[in-house]
Amino acid sequence: MSTVSYPDVQLFIDGVWREGHGHDGAAHQPIVNPATEEEIGTLAHASRADLDAALLAAEKGFATWRHVPAHERYKLMRKAAEILRERAEDIARIMTMEQGKPLPESRMETLAAADIIDWFAEEARRLYGRLIPARGAGVQQIVHKEPVGVVAAFTPWNFPINQAVRKISAALAAGCSIILKGPEETPASCAALVKAYEDAGLPKGVVNLVFGVPAEISQYLIPHPIVKKVTFTGSTAVGKQLAALAGAHMKRVTMELGGHAPAVVFEDADVDLAVKLLSGAKFRNAGQVCVSPTRFLVHEDIYSRFVDGFTEAVGQVKVGNGLEDGVRMGPLANSRRVDAMEALTADALSKGATLHAGGARIGNKGYFFQPTVLTDLAADSRILNEEPFGPIVPIMPFTSTEAVIEEANRLPYGLAAYAYTTSSARADEFARRVESGMISINHHGLALPEVPFGGIKDSGYGSEGGIEAMEAYVNTKFVTQLGV
């Protein structure tokens, strides 16, 4: 077992780890362990001059990296993946200390990141153009795929490595360079990912990592002429602001935003399977997952059975410090989430909801909140309309397929949707009619490297998985030439 201690975190600009000059006199911020509320380290903040240095480094890095042959990019990326695997135990411990999730989840995230790097490394070798048969004799029509250039990426605290690795790796595979503004609250594991790339031999300036005041950094980087592509993961509200700014400067954009996934259990479902898988999925990362199942919609014929089974399963979720053995759910990542859970629960109860489990903060140290189950919810309860991003489960009955599909599509979100049914016709109908970027039926099979990952409607646009992810980092250039 790893005994690594938590590091202070610096900026990585032009191949050098260094302090930042900060903003308004603040060059550092404390990093807090959400399980203990202790300060475990400090984080360097970038100044405008530091961002300028990162921009110039990325411009220079792009000029180098775009000419590195795909096979060399592939080999270097595979090496970074191996380094990440070798360091997974240490990195997982650091991630749990800063983010709170149980150690096995941190380990899984780190190892999954290595798989994501491998996938994009392979895609680097398959970034094909094409030859289009011409109408005229002697004409050659060629489609080239060229890297878009310097990328500005913004990633959040819920998956400190996973959110970053998709952006960095797709950009590198395509031949782009990148400036990543990592998550200020969980920076060390994200920095460890960048370090793996550095130690694999990535040329200077190709990946740059900065931290600071998020709005200051995005306002500066997005309009900057050196930046050609913007990619953001976070809330819909912030995503809309950044997409508007990018639009004003005609920058390419990928937005991976919030969700409010319906989880529908039809009357013909395997109820035990639905209870087992949904209770497992809901409390992963304490519900702070954009594709977390959120609105539980259960057919009235099996409603009581499901609610009883689910409440019993929730009672078995051991909550505690993620470093301890057997803990299934850690603290929430920050105090804002605890406040949000308290407010959502109070709102639901004030409108007549019934509490089956949880409903309160645990203790007075650490950002712990009980796994919570609510029924009898009023339609205007905030939990049914806003992304909870936490361990609260609202369960509602439904009577007809028509009504449940309407409810599934009611909100402006469209990221993930889940269904449990033994009828393949019903599964097909659900998949066809539910407005969502991703649909998973009778299991939870999202987010593998080789499958598309992204939303529609207010959940954003663009994909961060599968072959679609590469498209976000390339320009299509068409060349037609008549041989003379």
Question: Which residues form the interface with ligand NAD (CB under 6 A)?
Answer: 154, 156-158, 183, 214-215, 218, 233-235, 238, 242, 256-258, 290, 336, 387, 389
What does the alpha-carbon distance between residue 48 and residue 45 come to, in Å, rounded to a whole number?
Answer: 10
Among candidates 155, 157, 165, which has minimal Cα distance to 31?
157
Specify the residue, 241 or 409, whose C-beta has the smaller distance to ligand NAD: 241
Toward ligand NAD, which CB reaches closer, 309 or 390? Answer: 390
Is 256 catalytic? The answer is yes
Q: Please, which residue, 186 or 421, has the CB nearer to ligand NAD?
A: 186
Nearest approach, Cβ of 213 to ligand NAD (angstroms)? 9
Of the two residues 4 and 213, which places its CB atom closer to ligand NAD in the complex?
213
Q: Which of 176, 290, 387, 435 is catalytic?
A: 290
**Is 176 tagged catalytic?**
no
Residue 200 or 222 having the CB closest to ligand NAD = 222
What strand order describes the sheet that includes 139-147? 130-132, 139-147, 474-482
Active-site residue identified among 98, 105, 256, 464 = 256
Q: Shortest Cβ distance from residue 182 to ligand NAD (Å)?
A: 9
Least separation in angstroms between residue 2's CB and ligand NAD is 26
* CB nearer ligand NAD, residue 15 or residue 22: 22
CA–CA distance, 462 with 112 (Å, rounded to integer): 21
* Distance of alpha carbon 278 from alpha carbon 411, whole angstroms: 21
Residue 387 CB, nearest approach to ligand NAD (Å): 4
Contact 344, 388 (CB under 8 A): yes
Degrees to nearest 5, angle at CA 119 with 194 and 322: 55
Q: Residue 169 or residue 218: which is nearer to ligand NAD going by CB?
A: 218
- Would you please indicate which residues are annotated as catalytic (active-site) residues? 256, 290
